[in-house]
Amino acid sequence: MADEHGADVLIVSLGSTQGLRTADDELAAALRRAGASVAIAQAQAPPQVRTLMLTDLAWARAARRAHDRTLAALSGAPRATVYSSTTAALLWRTPGAIRFDAAAAGNRRGRHGLWQRPLERLRLTQAPLLLPWSEGALAEAAPRADAAARAIVLPVAVEPSGADGDRERDITAITYAANPRKKGLDVVLAAWRRALAARPRPDAQLLVAGVPAERVRAAGIGLEREPGVRLVGELPPAQYRSLLRRSRLFLSAARREDYGIAQLEALADGCMLLTTPSPGPYAALSIARALDPRLVDLDLATALCAALDDPLPGYRARALELLAPFRPDAVDRVVAERLLPRLLA
């Protein structure tokens, strides 16, 4: 399709987390399967700064530099641009579609988003197309009625990562704690401790993934004396997903959940999802409630005991059914039939 253009679609990728990078790669692949040519402008991680306001400014500048650098390398202007996250769009050179899991309106409250929120509202108004990952993200970011007419809900595709999902599960539980405080690692550990105190399980083990030891210590969380807890750190995606296929339970106690890719991946790989009812556009929360409402509870220790002592039969099969809108073939249909025609119109 590209003719005199350098690409049909340019994706300005913030890529500040593994989840965002995965989402951008999958979107690019889906667009290519639909017949479009795609270029990715990958922002380079800026130096760490002390506040969220400065962090967002640094990443917004990095996104603009990536856009300019990639545009200069293309043989012509792209037919459409997709900014991956509202932060990537804050300092844009030209309007484009905005894809986002959550907005500063929800996750940059108070002083943390003093400059981001008003500029974000402007960008969301100017964008010709909004691509929220979930209905909840759209409602939180752009509550005005006219936003729905410019929006296509486009989830991040998830699917089982291997054919051994029915193997014997030799790991009791796993949690993903890339940001230990935000992900509520302290809450997960307290629930684990209480559940084992109520009923000792000598062979029970909880794996903590996605975070190095120094970041856990910096968050003021000690793992050394936690019963049956093992830190596995940051892992390549394939290795992490292999642990999901071996785990019975996935524990989550996020203080806010902007989407929850880790929880959706856990469900796809056969884990039972135990979670607190975290605020935010948490896509997996309604699925978890539909599968087993006992496992969605502020008292995660009680949920843990229920899951271990009295698991509902058929949980994994029903989880795959409820994940149907998130499967790659469903997302590909949205991209080919709705997104690409709108982008190139």
Which class does domain 9-157+327-344 fall in?
alpha beta
pTM confidence score: 0.92
Under DSSP, is residue 312 helix (H, G, I), strand (E, B) or coil? coil
Q: In this structure, what DSSP letter does residue 95 have?
A: -
Q: Considering the chain, what is the average pLDDT of its residues?
A: 94
Q: pLDDT digits over 171-216, tens only?
A: 999 999 999 999 999 999 999 999 999 999 999 999 999 999 999 9
Are 9-157+327-344 and 171-324 the same fold in CATH?
yes
Instruction: Name the residue ranges covered by the structural domains of the chain.
Output: 9-157+327-344, 171-324
DSSP sequence for 190-228: HHHHHHHHHS--TT--EEEESS-HHHHHHTT---TTSTT
Under DSSP, is residue 229 helix (H, G, I), strand (E, B) or coil? strand
In degrees and rounded to multiples of 5, residue 131 shows phi and psi of -125, 70
Q: In this structure, what DSSP letter does residue 151 have?
A: B
pLDDT grade for 228, boundaries at 50, 70 and 90: very high
CATH number for region 171-324: 3.40.50.2000
pLDDT grade for 166, boundaries at 50, 70 and 90: low
